C-alpha cells in the first residue's frame, strides 16, 4: 500500500466563508478556530464573514488560511487519516511544519501571523506584481526573465506552468516577450513580488522570529520549498529563506512520489495544488480535502 501526503495550499484559493462548515460541524475544527482567535482576535470572523478584498490582504490571508487548513487537518486526523509526508506551497509550508510536529499549534499560528505582516510590509514598498507563464519550459522562462533587471522566475509549479514576480513597470513588456516566445502569461491578483529578491528584508526579519520559536522533534517527514528535499535540522534557514527564494513544487511532488506516495490530499479551500499534481503525474491519486472527506465519511 502506498503512502499518503498532505499538501497545504498557499494564497489564491481563499474565499469568504471558508472553514465555516467545518467550524459548525466538527468540534476539533472549532477548537482550532478558537485557539487562533485567542492569539489573533477576529480570525474566525474574518474567515467566515470577511469580504473578498479583506481576505486578499496578505496580513489577513495567511492567518486565515492557516486556521482553515489546520482545522481541516484535525478533522481528517480525528477520522484516522494521518499523512506519511507533508509539504506546503509558500505559506502552506508553515502549516505543514506545524502538522509535522516541528512547531506546536500556537507557535505555528503566531509565526504565520508575523510572516503575513512582514510580507505585506515589503509588498507595500514597491509597485510589483506576479504572473503565471504557461506553455514554456523553465529554461525558456528564465531566458525571457534575463532580459529584465527585476523580473524573476519564482514558482516552478508543474510542467508548462511557472510563476514570475517583478516590477510592474517591467511586467507589461515581459508579458509581450512571453507571447512572442510562444507562451501565454496571465497576470495574478497578488499584491507583491513573492519569493523574489523583493522579499529579502521580510525573509531576514522572519528569520529572527524563527530563532525565538521552540522547534520540536518532527513526527512526519516535511519537505522544503527551497530544496525540494526533506527538512533536517535547518528549520530557521529553510523556512525564512523560502520567502525570497523560488518554490520548487514540481520537484517536491516528484520526490514524494519517489518516496512512495501515491495519494495526495490537498488541504485548503481550493484545488490549485490538486490540478498541479495531476499535471505532474497521472499515476497517483490527487484529491481535494472536500473530496477525500466525502470518501471517508461514506465508508
* Residue of 90, 100, 203, 245 with catalytic role: 90
Distance CA 127, CA 135 (A): 27
**9 is an active site residue:** no
Q: What are the C-alpha distances in Å from 73 to residues 29, 67, 77, 79, 226?
A: 9, 10, 6, 10, 24
Q: How far apart are CA 219 and CA 231, in angstroms?
A: 12
Asked if residue 171 lies in contact with residue 177, where contact means CB atoms within 8 angstroms, the answer is no
Residue with cell 507595500: 124
Q: Cα 23 to the chain's mean position, in Å?
A: 22
Give me the catalytic one of 100, 110, 165, 195. 195
**What separation in angstroms does the CA of 23 have from each of 74, 100, 221, 295?**
11, 23, 28, 20
Q: For residues 191 and 283, is the Cβ–Cβ distance under 8 A?
A: no
Asked if 90 is an active-site residue, the reply is: yes
d(CA 73, CA 191): 28
Catalytic residue numbers?
A: 90, 195
Amino acid at each position: 500500500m502506498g503512502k499518503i501526503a498532505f499538501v497545504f495550499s498557499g494564497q489564491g484559493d481563499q474565499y469568504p466563508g471558508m472553514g465555516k462548515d467545518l467550524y459548525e460541524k466538527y468540534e476539533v475544527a472549532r477548537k482550532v478556530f478558537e485557539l487562533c482567535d485567542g492569539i489573533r482576535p477576529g480570525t474566525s470572523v474574518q474567515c467566515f464573514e470577511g469580504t473578498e478584498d479583506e481576505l486578499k490582504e496578505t496580513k489577513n490571508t495567511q492567518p486565515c488560511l492557516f486556521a482553515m487548513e489546520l482545522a481541516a487537518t484535525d478533522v481528517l486526523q480525528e477520522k484516522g487519516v494521518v499523512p506519511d509526508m507533508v509539504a506546503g506551497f509558500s505559506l502552506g509550508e508553515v502549516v505543514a511544519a506545524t502538522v509535522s510536529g516541528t512547531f506546536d499549534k500556537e507557535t505555528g499560528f503566531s509565526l504565520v501571523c508575523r510572516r503575513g505582516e512582514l510580507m505585506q510590509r515589503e509588498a507595500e514598498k514597491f509597485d510589483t506584481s506576479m504572473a503565471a507563464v504557461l506553455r514554456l519550459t523553465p529554461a525558456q522562462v528564465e531566458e525571457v526573465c534575463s532580459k529584465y533587471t527585476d523580473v524573476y522566475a519564482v514558482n516552478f509549479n508543474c510542467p508548462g506552468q511557472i510563476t514570475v514576480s517583478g516590477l510592474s513597470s517591467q511586467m507589461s513588456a515581459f508579458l509581450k516577450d512571453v507571447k512572442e516566445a510562444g507562451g501565454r502569461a496571465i497576470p495574478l491578483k497578488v499584491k507583491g513580488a513573492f519569493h523574489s529578491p523583493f522579499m529579502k528584508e521580510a525573509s531576514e526579519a522572519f528569520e529572527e522570529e524563527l530563532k525565538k520559536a521552540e522547534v520540536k522533534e518532527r513526527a512526519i517527514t516535511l519537505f522544503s520549498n527551497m530544496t525540494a528535499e526533506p527538512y533536517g535540522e535547518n528549520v530557521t534557514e529553510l523556512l525564512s529563506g523560502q520567502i525570497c527564494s523560488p518554490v520548487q513544487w514540481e520537484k517536491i511532488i516528484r520526490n514524494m512520489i519517489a518516496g512512495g506516495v501515491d495519494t495526495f490530499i490537498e488541504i485548503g479551500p481550493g484545488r490549485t495544488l490538486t490540478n498541479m499534481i495531476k499535471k505532474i503525474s497521472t499515476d497517483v491519486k490527487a484529491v481535494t480535502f472536500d473530496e477525500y472527506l466525502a470518501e471517508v465519511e461514506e465508508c
